[in-house]
Structure formats: C-alpha cells, structure tokens
Amino acid sequence: MRWDYVILIAIYVITRSAFFIIFGNASWEHDSYEHYYQSKIFSETWNLETLFNTWNKAIFTFISSLLILIHDDIAIVKIFNVLVWLTIILIVYGFLVKKTGSRLLAYLGALICIFDFIGFRASVAALTEASAALLILIGVVYSRRYFGVITL
C-alpha cells in the first residue's frame, strides 16, 4: 500500500470534514446555490437550453443533475466536488513524483492543493471550478505523457 497517498487522503478528509462539522451545509457565496438551482432545473426538464446557457458549465451541470436525481440536495453536489478535488490532489502528487523524483516536492505540491484558498472554496461548495480544474489537469498530464508539450 502506498502510505504517501493514504496520508494525503487522511489530511484532506480531516480538513474537509472539520469544515463541514463546523460550518454545516453553508456556503459563503450565492454561486453555489445558483449552480445547484440550474442543475436541478436541468434534471427536471432535460432542456438543452438550460444546459448551455450563460450561467452553466455543461459538464458540471450534467453530472450534478444526475447526482441530484439520486439525492435532491446541494450536499450531494458538494460531496462530488470534494471527491473531484481529492482526485486533483492525487494526480498532482503522482505527476510531481514522476516528474521530479522528489516525494518532498510532491507533498508540497499536494499540500498547496489541499490548503490553497480557491481550491478549498471550490472543494467545499457547489462551484464549477473543481471540475474545470480537473479537466485542465487531465489535459496537462495527457499532453505531457503523450505529446511531451508540458515541461517543468
């Protein structure tokens, strides 16, 4: 078992759980509620105009609409974002270990992802930044692996 991944997951789960225990299901900006509301509308109507309007991000709205069908609460979308951001952290850690060969540098990169302001906000709210960051990161890792475009 890779203990470095277990340690990162434990740090992440503890920090996010502490946030939800202390603050509950609250968000400090209206965007989370608006994204949830738009996803809920799409899950009820399946109208493509709703999916592709100015406010929505199509991939996020589609996935969160499916989750809302399972459990109609903003919390399910927040849990999705927590898992997406955890995936980002693990990809960043793995990429840095392979690219630099330094576990210390990889831990630093992962810890920055865990505690940075935007990442923390995006991972505990129903915001679209987490899924957008994951798509960009997959593109960076994919381009590096297959095309050699990205270098450190």
- pLDDT tens sequence across 42-75: 999 999 888 888 778 889 999 999 999 999 999 8
The pLDDT, as a whole number, for residue 105 is 94
State which amino acid sits at residue 58.
A
State which amino acid sits at residue 77.
V
Question: Are the C-beta atoms of 83 and 77 separated by less than 8 Å?
Answer: no
- Residue that wins the pLDDT comparison between 70 and 149: 70
CA 108/CA 75 separation, integer angstroms? 29
Q: Which range, of 43-52, 81-90, 123-132, 140-149, averages the lowest pLDDT?
A: 140-149
Q: pLDDT category, 152, cuts 50, 70, 90? A: very low
Coil, strand or helix at 13 = helix
